[in-house]
């Protein structure tokens, strides 16, 4: 971490002979300001949980907006949610749930010090994340083509996904349907951005794992990225029914 | 943990090896400062940045006060005036007050007071500083491009579809605030983890300095409220760019929703601004009364209480915005609750002073001024919480005076008090006490001239943010502006005094105020890892009866 402090590590160690936590010398992964690897691990994990709390509050604004406008414009929300493809959404839900499993398995193999298995599970998680984004890309493309755009730009034309409208479509498109798509693009867009960031971080962790930086004694980064990934998954678990399924 | 004996023993001379070297001498050169992971250096870099922001915000304040010297045009047109007061507010709130105490003084002293070697995540700490810098640069960019004129609150639809000024300036400024928010969140995450996990042996929760309790409560708000502002501003940016239809009433959006979102952050943010100031004042009052804090746990818990209640009162900013009458009544009632933890603090400080051995050095003057000015600011807040007077006084200078009493009379006085209190420890130099008192006196007199007057102006009907006013208000406005210039001179004197101390100040002793606080037990300036040995805490930070002669001596 801070090579300038290597001298102090030595000096500090001389004073630490009363130490009973069983790390003979200051391991390389232990930052200078921590006493024990356990303290470092607990601290990092607490920090990640706090960051995730922050993430939840960040999304909370969007959920509130969704709730308010759904309440105000129920017809628009009902009509608009039928323009989304629940099959695509379901596929993505399964993909993300599976990726949460592989992320958890990556943590487990990392804890056991199985380097190559960790890499495999990480790669699988990354592949799932890519599949999710590809499906999302096709969904977005369809919306763009159909003119199902946010607020001011909403101008629907060939509506080939209109299903189960029982003639309501003939009665015209409800007002404020653009607001639904504004919220839809914000929610899925911000979520997609989190998936993208997750891919980036997981690739970085993968590289570090291949370099052999992690062991049964030190696997904190793998654990933290998995925590983050579970949150990304969890948010989608809420987005899917709210946007695709509720009538 | 390690088994060192009393490391709280004073150690004044540098041994010159390893951990003994002061953090200022550990390495030199600009590059070593810019990439430092040492929380003390990061704190100093924050300090310089927030002082620059304070100077910029102050210049805009003076421009506002010059313009208001006479009705009609004095030095600038109405559109420029809107931009100037917006920049004053936005810079002071987001670039100065929010990071002032936590990020500058807190970064420096939080780990030292915990007996830790550094914050939990030093690299994250440096990252949050650079995010702050990026935010500051974006704010500057917005000024170059053409300036925001929406007020610091960025209310829609001014901000979502205003055509006055430059459209892009709003995007840059809200982008800047969005970015600054992340700096604030990361600092909060770092501080909470540090307080939980990095305390020295013997440092129990009941032995935490009250500054730490305040910083902890502040961090909780930063982590939980700031992301809501972030998503609000993200929605606003998207509204401008793509017309989402969330805030813009022309396409089915609701501008009042923006206000709800904005104040859901910005009211708790008021406590992000004031709580750390209260923490500083608790330290100062104890040190200069040489006495244990009266009702320690009450003061500590009142910080947490303020942080929690602060989340429930945002609607009192919207009494005339068209929210439901029932919501208004509930928010009014909840707002009164804020007075309880605030009152607990005031009375406990007075209880500490009572029977204490009070000495009136310059930090203590700031501490006492805080109690007086914050009481005025807090009590006038109740005028706004009461619906009948609140609606009458809404959007008048009374509101302006109220929040300046809290934000300037409270936070800024506490910030300068803390700066004077800890300056010797941070820099290793003593400033000139006489000049410091003059600076304080001018600041205090000027402040009351400026803002007491505005209570009168507001109660007589002078609306806030107006460029022009009726001739009968001229005298009061001129008096207020005179006060603003006296503040300016006072602040200038403070800057000169502090800067001069760096060049020609006397060398500061280890414990110039003979305080029992933990941060005074380490050498001045502190060594790289804060203490020569891991300290073992055996008493509370205000236990003057348990502190040894050696600990309370200057060297």
Domain spans in chain B, listed from the N-terminal domain onward: 32-552
State the pLDDT confidence band at B9, using cuts at 50, 70 and 90: very low
What mean pLDDT comes out for the span B246-256? 88
Looking at chain A, which residue has its C-alpha nearest residue B229? A58
Which pLDDT belongs to residue B19?
A: 53
CA A233 – CA A237 distance, rounded (Å): 6
Asked whether the predicted pLDDT for residue B2 surpasses 60, the reply is no
What is the mean predicted confidence (pLDDT) over A177-204? 95
* Chain A residues inside the 8 Å CB shell of B225: 57
CB–CB contact A8 B234 (8 Å) = no
Contact across the interface for B121 and A61, Cβ inside 8 Å: no
Task: Pinpoint the alpha helices (H) of B293-412.
Answer: 296-309, 325-337, 339-353, 362-385, 387-393, 397-406
Rounded to an integer, what distance in angstroms lies between the CA atom of residue A186 and that of residue A239?
11
Distance CA B298, CA B304 (A): 10
Tokens 């073992």 identify what position?
A: B536
- Of the pLDDT bands very low, low, confident and very high (cuts 50, 70, 90), residue B11 is very low
- Asked if residues A125 and A96 have their Cβ atoms less than 8 Å apart, the reply is no
pTM equals 0.91
3-state helix, strand, coil in chain B (%, to 5): 70, 0, 30
Q: Which of B126, B193, B311 to mutate to test the interface with A (most CBs of A within 10 A)?
A: B193
Q: What residue in A sits closest to B253 (Cα-Cα)?
A: A179
Residues of B in contact with A192 (CB under 8 A): none
> Does A18 reside within a domain?
no
Give the number of domains in chain A: 1
**Is A20 a domain residue?**
no
Chain B residue with minimum CA distance to A5: B18
Residue, of B132 and B241, whose pLDDT is higher: B132
Average of per-residue pLDDT values in chain A = 85
- Indicate yes or no: CB of B197 within 8 angstroms of CB of A39: yes
**Yes or no, beta carbons of B244 and A186 under 8 Å apart:** yes
Least confident of A144-148, B289-293, B422-426, B502-506: A144-148
Cβ burial, residue B452 (10 Å; 0-12/13-18/19+): middle
Residues 184-243 of B with CB under 8 A from A: 185, 188-190, 192-193, 196-198, 223-228, 230-232, 234-235, 238-239, 242-243
- Burial zone of B482 (CB within 10 Å; 0-12 exposed, 13-18 middle, 19+ buried): middle
Question: Which pLDDT value is given to residue B251?
Answer: 83
A 21-40 → B contacts, CB under 8 A: 31-33, 35, 39
Q: What tokens appear for B273 in the block?
A: 């601004």
The ipTM estimated for the assembled molecules is 0.91
Using a pLDDT cut of 90, give the percent of chain B over it: 84
- Does residue B167 carry a pLDDT above 90? no
Residue A71 covered by a domain: yes
Q: What is the DSSP letter of B508?
A: P
CB contact under 8 A, A47 and B246: no
Average per-residue pLDDT in chain B? 92
Residues of A (161-220) whose Cβ lies below 8 Å from B: 175-176, 178-179, 182-183, 185-186, 190
Are the beta carbons of B2 and A16 separated by less than 8 Å?
A: yes
In a domain, A225, yes or no: yes
Q: Which of B355, B497, B370, B519 is nearest to B439 (CA)?
A: B497
Chain A interface includes B121 (CB < 8 A) = yes
Task: Name every chain A residue with its beta carbon within 8 A of the beta carbon of B529.
Answer: 5, 8, 12, 32-33
Residues of A in contact with B254 (CB under 8 A): 68
Chain A residues with CB-CB distance to B116 below 8 A: 33
- Long-range CB pairs of B137-140 (<8 Å, 24+ gap) are B138/B172, B138/B173, B138/B175, B138/B176, B138/B179, B139/B90, B139/B91, B139/B94, B139/B95, B139/B172, B139/B173, B139/B176, B139/B177, B139/B180
Residue B162 pLDDT grade (very low, low, confident, very high; cuts 50, 70, 90): low
**Closest chain A residue by Cα to residue B27:** A4
- Of A12, A26, A34, give the one whose Cα is nearest residue B18: A12
pLDDT of residue A161: 47
Q: Which has more confidence, B236 or B555?
A: B236
Q: How many CB pairs lie under 8 A apart between chains A and B?
A: 160
The least confident of A219-223, B192-196, B244-248, B277-281 is B244-248
Flag if B122 and A175 touch (Cβ within 8 Å): no
pLDDT for res A155: 80
Assign B408 a pLDDT band (cuts: 50, 70, 90): very high
By CB atoms closer than 10 A (0-12, 13-18, 19+), residue B13 is exposed
The whole-angstrom separation of Cα B432 and Cα B506 is 9
Q: How far is A14 from chain B (nearest CA, A)?
A: 11
Facing A33 at nearest CB: one of B117, B246, B253:
B117
Task: Report the CATH number at residue A104.
Answer: 1.20.120.80
pLDDT of residue A19: 37
- Does a structural domain hold residue A22? no
The CATH topology of domain B32-552 is: Cytochrome C Oxidase; Chain A (1.20.210)
Confidence of residue B164 (pLDDT cuts 50, 70, 90): low
CA distance B126 to chain A (A): 13
Residue A58 and residue B228: Cβ atoms within 8 Å? yes
Which of B198, B232, B245 is closest, CB to CB, to A152? B245
A-proximal residues of B, 9-68, CB under 8 Å: 17-19, 26-27, 37
Query: What number of other Cβ atoms are within 10 A of residue A126's Cβ?
Result: 20
Which residues on A lie below 8 Å from B246 (Cβ)? 65, 69, 151, 179, 182-183, 186
Q: How far apart are CA B231 and CA B198, in angstroms?
A: 32
Q: Tell which of B5, B41, B199, B227 to mutate to test the A interface (max A CBs under 10 Å).
A: B227
Contacting B residues, span 251-270, partner chain A, CB-CB under 8 Å: 251-254, 257, 261
Q: What is the extent of the structural domain holding A96?
A: 52-154+174-245
Query: pLDDT tens-digit profile of B476-517?
Result: 999 999 999 999 999 999 999 999 999 999 999 999 999 999
Q: Say yes or no for a CB contact (<8 Å) between A33 and B226.
A: no
Average pLDDT over residues B286-313: 95
Taken in order B254, A55, B108, B351, the sign of the CA dihedral is: positive
pLDDT at res. A3: 36
């Amino acid at each position: 971490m801070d090579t300038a402090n290597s001298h102090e590590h030595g000096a500090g160690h001389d004073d630490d002979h009363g130490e009973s936590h069983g790390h003979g010398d200051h391991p390389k992964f232990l930052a200078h300001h921590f006493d024990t690897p356990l303290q470092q691990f607990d601290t990092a994990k607490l920090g990640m949980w706090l960051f995730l709390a922050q993430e939840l509050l960040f999304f909370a604004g969007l959920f509130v907006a969704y709730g308010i406008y759904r309440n105000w414009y129920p017809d628009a929300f009902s009509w608009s949610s039928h323009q989304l493809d629940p099959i695509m959404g379901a596929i993505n839900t399964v993909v993300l749930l599976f990726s949460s499993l592989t992320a958890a398995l990556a943590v487990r193999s990392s804890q056991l010090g199985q380097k190559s298995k960790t890499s495999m599970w990480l790669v699988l998680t990354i592949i799932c994340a890519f599949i999710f984004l590809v499906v999302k890309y096709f969904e977005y493309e369809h919306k763009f083509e159909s003119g199902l755009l946010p607020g001011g730009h909403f101008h629907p034309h060939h509506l080939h996904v209109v299903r189960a409208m029982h003639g309501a479509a003939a009665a015209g498109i409800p007002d404020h349907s653009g607001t639904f798509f504004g919220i839809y693009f914000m929610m899925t867009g911000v979520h997609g951005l989190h998936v993208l960031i997750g891919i980036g971080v997981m690739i970085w962790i993968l590289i570090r794992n291949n370099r052999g930086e992690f062991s049964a004694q030190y696997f904190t980064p793998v654990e933290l990225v998995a925590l983050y990934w579970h949150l990304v998954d969890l948010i989608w678990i809420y987005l899917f029914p709210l946007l695709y399924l509720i009538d | 943990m390690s088994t060192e004996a009393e490391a709280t023993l004073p150690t004044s001379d540098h041994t010159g090896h390893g951990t003994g070297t002061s953090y200022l001498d550990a390495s030199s050169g600009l590059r070593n400062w810019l990439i430092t992971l040492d929380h003390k250096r990061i704190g100093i870099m924050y300090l310089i940045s927030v002082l620059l922001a304070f100077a910029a915000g102050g210049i805009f304040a003076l421009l506002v006060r010059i313009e208001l010297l006479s009705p009609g045009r004095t030095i600038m047109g109405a559109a420029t005036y809107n931009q100037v007061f917006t920049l004053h507010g936005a810079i002071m709130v987001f670039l100065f007050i929010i990071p002032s105490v936590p990020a500058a003084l807190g970064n420096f002293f939080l780990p030292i007071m915990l007996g830790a070697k550094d914050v939990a995540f030093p690299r994250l700490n440096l990252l949050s500083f650079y995010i702050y810098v990026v935010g500051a640069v974006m704010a500057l960019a917005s000024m170059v491009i053409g300036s925001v004129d929406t007020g610091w609150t960025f209310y829609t639809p001014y901000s979502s579809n205003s055509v006055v000024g430059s459209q892009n300036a709003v995007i840059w400024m809200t982008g800047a605030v969005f970015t600054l928010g992340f700096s604030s969140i990361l600092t909060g995450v770092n501080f909470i983890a540090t307080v939980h996990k990095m305390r020295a042996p013997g440092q129990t929760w009941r032995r935490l300095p009250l500054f730490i309790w305040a910083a902890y409560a502040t961090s909780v708000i930063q982590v939980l409220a700031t992301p809501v502002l972030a998503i609000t501003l993200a929605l606003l940016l998207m509204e401008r760019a793509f017309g989402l239809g969330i805030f813009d009433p022309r396409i089915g959006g609701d501008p009042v929703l923006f206000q709800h979102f904005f104040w859901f952050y910005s009211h708790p943010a008021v406590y992000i601004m004031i709580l750390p100031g209260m923490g500083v004042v608790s330290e100062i009052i104890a040190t200069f009364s040489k006495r244990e804090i009266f009702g320690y746990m009450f003061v500590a818990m009142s910080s947490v209480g303020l942080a929690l209640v602060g989340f429930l009162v945002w609607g009192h900013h919207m009494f005339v915005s068209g929210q439901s009458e029932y919501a208004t009544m509930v928010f009014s009632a909840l707002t009164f609750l804020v007075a309880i933890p605030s009152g607990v603090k005031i009375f406990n400080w007075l209880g500490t002073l009572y029977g204490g051995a009070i000495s009136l050095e310059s930090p203590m003057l700031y501490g006492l001024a805080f109690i007086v000015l914050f009481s005025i600011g807090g009590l006038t807040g109740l005028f706004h919480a009461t619906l009948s007077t609140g609606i009458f006084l809404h959007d008048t200078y009374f509101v302006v005076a109220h929040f300046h009493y809290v934000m300037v009379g409270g936070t800024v006085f506490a910030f300068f008090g803390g700066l004077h209190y800890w300056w010797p420890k941070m820099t290793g130099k003593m400033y000139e006490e006489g000049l410091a008192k003059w600076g304080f006196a001018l600041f205090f007199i000027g402040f009351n001239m400026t803002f007491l007057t505005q209570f009168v102006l507001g109660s007589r009907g002078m609306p806030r943010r107006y460029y022009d006013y009726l001739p009968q208000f001229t005298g009061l406005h001129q008096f207020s502006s005179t006060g603003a210039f006296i503040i300016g001179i006072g602040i200038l004197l403070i800057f000169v005094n502090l800067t001069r101390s760096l060049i020609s100040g006397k060398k500061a002793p280890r414990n110039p105020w003979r305080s029992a606080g933990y941060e005074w037990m380490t050498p001045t300036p502190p060594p790289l890892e804060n203490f020569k040995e891991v300290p073992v805490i055996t008493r509370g930070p205000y236990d003057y009866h348990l502190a040894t002669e050696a600990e309370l001596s200057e060297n």
